[in-house]
Amino acid sequence: MSVTRSSNWQAHLPPGVDPAELDLLAAGSLPAAWRRQASEDPGRPALWAAGPGWRSRGDLDAASGRVAGRLRRAGLAAGDRVLVSAATSMELVVAYLGALRMGLVVVPVNTAYREREVAHIVGDARPRAAVVDDPERGEWARKAAGGDLLVAGPEVDLPDGDPPPLDRGGPADPALLCYTSGTTGAPKGAVLAHGNLLASAEALLLAWRWTAEDRLVLALPLFHIHGLGVGLHGTLLAGASAVLLPRFDVDAALDAARDHQATLFFGVPTMYARLADSPRAGELGRLRLCVSGSAPLPPTVFQRLAERAGQRVLERYGMTETVMNVSNPYDGERRSGTVGLPLPGVELRLAGGDQGEVLLRGPNVFGGYWGNPEATAAAFDPDGWFRTGDLGSFDERGYLRIEGRTKELIITGGYNVHPREVEELLLEHPGVAEAAVVGAPSEEWGEQVAAFVVPADPAAPPDRDELLAFAAERLAGFKRPRILRYVEALPRNALGKVLKHELRG
């Protein structure tokens, strides 16, 4: 019999907050909340980026409204999908806000994706428009759409028009269509409603004591739920401010924190490993809070930062389908190796009691996969609990520890890689007879992609560099094998299933 641990979320509430009066959906939607803040204090600084400098709440409100007017004049309407794939910039944020405010469903796409990956998403989501910072990526999207696709840069440099009614989306209306790898290996589109995004952001404001006085150094990509659904959404909902960096660099991040008197930094374990190794690691001690997610933070990195910066990094646990679920407490013990307690509003249980698959319920949990009722049905149990595919256990204080995954997903540098996708790509090479891909431990990346290949001709296996180049041309950088080993045969059981645990060993 499984044990529900939903009551633990009250440990995250600030003093004076009555759990019985908590309503994570009271604001209606993030765009509605942002509009109210802009009207209350339009001159307050909101976002900074190199080039444009600081933009105020009022600036963002006006600029995103102009984008909405342009998209409406171009023929888009609420409910249409728009693919968005660009490096972090002020223009990208404005385009995103404009699309969300007018009721479009934004489809974030990793900028590292290659043509076959972009084509799959376009074919499945059927967007009406694409906002991209790379003409080649735009051409891939247009080609996959059969030529019928509006393509614009992050500036959305289109003729101006009158915006449609803005900020009308309700909690049940779709806002994001985020693609994530599934058990079939083909990415599935998780439909996140406005209510999912709002509930998760409101929970984080409570749990992390996020206020308008905070300033975040945001070096995470905005095509990922960590940067978008946590960093950007939380900043704007809190009425806080953020410094946007187009990519992570140790010195650039620390310079930004110093120059802009930041209080927050969010990152993935790879970033923290590099910060811990920097001679400037001690500068992290100036920040009020550092948060790590997207993959487990190695205890050695946690300890080095605690020793060198006095910074006990707060670990949390989220997913594309649920945004944020669990967090170590802000006030209280932060236990290395655990992801903490359920966030406000989140119900969590383990299928086996104190150990087993993590099951979730709450206003943050998505409603299903785009156009895929079979996958949706399989993702939820009869009582409406979402099956995460992650294995967890509770310690004696009820803190959750993620032990592994029932699925074979690899998480490298905070990004998801499904082995089957890489295996199928390798099998397209004429020199490969069989391939199996697993995650190999890496302190820097969490995991790295390791490929075990049976050559078609054992006497003349493919050149290693040539095979790696073959994969590099067709897959995003984080999906490419970092370890390549030739083997005579793959270990299999009596039914012919590959025993991947033996390869990991």
DSSP secondary structure letters along 48-66: EETTTEEEEHHHHHHHHHH
Residues 266 and 235: their CA atoms lie apart, in Å, by 12
* Core vs surface per residue 268-283: b (16+ CB within 10 A) or e: bbbbbbbbbeeeebeb
Q: What crossing angle do the helices spanning 464-472 and 419-427 adopt, rounded to 10°?
A: 120
Torsion of CA 412, 414, 417, 419, to 10 degrees: 40
* Residue in the block written with tokens 């490298």: 412
How many CA within 13 A on the CB side of residue 247? Answer: 5
Residues 90 and 82: their CA atoms lie apart, in Å, by 18
Which among 368, 441, 379 has a CA at the least distance from the CA of 411? Answer: 441
Give the contacts of 259 (CB within 8 A, at least 6 positions apart): none
* Core vs surface per residue 116-146: b (16+ CB within 10 A) or e: ebbbbbbebbbbbbbbbbeeebbbbbbebbe
Name the segment(s) of the chain with CATH classification 3.30.300.30.
410-504
Which among 140, 177, 138 has a CA at the least distance from the CA of 156? Answer: 138
Burial of 52 (0-12, 13-18, 19+ CB in 10 A): middle
- C-alpha of 209 from chain center: 21
Q: Which fold has domain 16-318?
A: Rossmann fold (3.40.50)
Alpha-helix residue ranges (DSSP H) falling in 220-268:
225, 233-238, 250-259
**pLDDT for position 337:** 87
Determine contact, residues 104/163, Cβ cutoff 8 Å.
Answer: no
Q: What is the pLDDT along the chain (505 residues), one digit of tens a residue?
A: 344 454 578 889 999 899 889 999 999 999 999 999 999 999 999 999 999 999 999 999 999 999 999 999 999 999 999 999 999 999 999 999 999 999 999 999 999 999 999 999 999 999 999 999 999 999 999 999 999 999 999 999 999 999 999 999 999 999 999 998 543 457 899 999 999 999 999 999 999 999 999 999 999 999 999 999 999 999 999 999 999 999 999 999 999 999 999 999 999 988 999 999 999 999 999 999 999 998 788 888 999 999 999 999 999 999 999 999 999 999 999 999 899 999 999 999 999 787 789 999 999 999 999 999 999 999 999 999 999 998 888 988 889 988 867 767 788 998 988 787 898 899 899 999 889 999 999 988 999 999 999 999 999 999 999 999 999 999 999 999 999 999 999 997 654 568 887 888 6
Name the segment(s) of the chain with CATH classification 3.40.50.12780.
16-318
> How many helices and strands (H and E) does the chain possess?
15, 26
Which among 72, 414, 457 has a CA at the least distance from the CA of 272? Answer: 414
**pLDDT for position 9:** 82
In terms of CATH architecture, what is 410-504? 2-Layer Sandwich (3.30)
Burial of 485 (0-12, 13-18, 19+ CB in 10 A): exposed
Determine contact, residues 132/262, Cβ cutoff 8 Å.
Answer: no
Which residues face 417 on adjacent strands?
Answer: 410
Determine contact, residues 256/281, Cβ cutoff 8 Å.
Answer: no
**pLDDT for position 2:** 44
